[in-house]
Amino acid sequence: MKEKELIQIITKTLDSKYIGDDCAYLKDLGITISQDSLVEDVHFKLSYMTPFQLGYKAVMVNISDICASGAEPKYLTISLSLPKDTQNSFVKDFYEGAKFAANGVEIVGGDITGGDKVFISITAIGSSKNRKISSRKNAQAGQKIIVSGPHGSSAAGLKLLLDNQHTPQTLINAHLMPKAQVEFSKKIATAATSDYAMMDSSDGLMDALSQIAQASNVKMSIDFSKIPFDKEIKIFNNWQDLVFYGGEDYQIIATIEEGLLKKLHGYTIIGEVEKAEKDFGVEVNYENHKEFYTPKQIDEKLYNHF
């Protein structure tokens, strides 16, 4: 909760039109830009991640931000802060992982400094050339809500890792080596002819739906039965919470005009954008009942669960 309070302070102090989406769209330069940090013992623990995996994931989450904007990921800069006793091999492996994740996106700079813990801050730059750039403000009643893949797997993998378990491998991999939806988002951004909302599910499915609902002042109405998830997460009693509130799956969530769907593939329609009658928020339709959540309720759930 405190993070959102601080973001409000920052937004108020800066009075900038750019703060809001994960990426800022700098129209005059034809780019989108995003910067994200990973802090040891806050966002990850070295007990369950190799330096290669850490470099991989740090880059991938930033590429995912660019994908969510609709831009083409082009360049990265990496700042790395390391404790004094860090082995040289850590740096080599970290950058090997970073390069593997970058997969053609060029790492062009950054710096390396000392510190008490491992701190990584990465900036990603995307090109808006021949792309229509998304905004979470762009959801409109009548649009279909689509996702690129399963939710809950990464959070399930993290639970296993924290419990010192290393199977099922699909769940572990979902957490340690997620994939940004480069092709999926490209299809949308190059085919779109009208405004659309798009986010990645870095902070979970419900958070993304809630953010879009709030920014666009709409109701995001989804069917629970349609949300794709990996059946292996059912080993957890609270698997429904993992699907809703588990983060770091880095799937794409978008609100799309129905006419555009025929140009896409690999998506799952999970619901539809509706007008917000009274409150904006997320409506979940179950087999026999439905429930409505305000962004505040979703924030509280997120805060209590994770």
Query: Binding to a copy of itself by residue 16, rule CB under 8 A?
Result: yes
Query: Binding to a copy of itself by residue 88, rule CB under 8 A?
Result: yes
- Cβ at position 58, least distance to a copy of itself in Å: 12
Bridge partner list, 282: 220, 293
Among 54, 58, 67, 123, binds a copy of itself (CB under 8 A): 123
Cβ atoms < 10 Å from Cβ of 53: 19
Per CB under 8 A, the segment of 78-86, 207-215, 218-226, 241-249 that binds a copy of itself is 78-86
Calpha distance 12→145 (Å, rounded): 31
Sign of the Cα torsion 63, 163, 170, 253 reads negative
DSSP track, 137-198: GG--TTPEEEESS--SHHHHHHHHHHTT---SHHHHHHHHS----HHHHHHHHHH--S--EE
Query: Binding to a copy of itself by residue 127, rule CB under 8 A?
Result: yes
Among 53, 64, 121, 148, binds a copy of itself (CB under 8 A): 121
Near a copy of itself in 39-68, by CB under 8 A: 39, 41-43
User: At 10, phi and psi to the nearest 5?
Assistant: -65, -45
Looking at the Cβ atoms of 36 and 223, the one nearer to a copy of itself is 36
Query: Binding to a copy of itself by residue 74, rule CB under 8 A?
Result: yes
Looking at the Cβ atoms of 95 and 250, the one nearer to a copy of itself is 95
Q: Give me the amino acid identity at 89.
A: S
Q: Token match 């800066």: residue?
A: 14
Dihedral, 287, 292, 297, 302 alpha carbons, nearest 10:
30
Contact 223, 123 (CB under 8 A): no
- Cβ at position 242, least distance to a copy of itself in Å: 23
Query: Binding to a copy of itself by residue 238, rule CB under 8 A?
Result: no
What single DSSP character describes residue 134?
P
- Cβ at position 10, least distance to a copy of itself in Å: 5
Which residues make Cβ contacts (< 8 Å) with residue 300, sequence separation at least 6? Answer: 1
Per CB under 8 A, the segment of 5-13, 156-164, 269-277, 297-305 that binds a copy of itself is 5-13
Calpha distance 85→8 (Å, rounded): 38
Query: Binding to a copy of itself by residue 1, rule CB under 8 A?
Result: no
Contact 48, 158 (CB under 8 A): no
Query: Binding to a copy of itself by residue 111, rule CB under 8 A?
Result: yes
Looking at the Cβ atoms of 36 and 257, the one nearer to a copy of itself is 36
Among 46, 103, 109, 279, binds a copy of itself (CB under 8 A): 109
DSSP β-ladder status, 72-82 and 119-127: antiparallel
Query: Binding to a copy of itself by residue 119, rule CB under 8 A?
Result: yes
Query: Binding to a copy of itself by residue 266, rule CB under 8 A?
Result: no
Q: Token match 């409000």: residue?
A: 8
Size of site (CB under 8 A) for a copy of itself: 56
Looking at the Cβ atoms of 126 and 152, the one nearer to a copy of itself is 126
Contacts with a copy of itself, residue ranges (CB under 8 A): 3, 5-7, 9-10, 13-14, 16, 18-19, 23-24, 26, 28-31, 33-37, 39, 41-43, 74-75, 77-79, 81, 88, 91-92, 95-96, 99, 106-117, 119, 121, 123, 125, 127
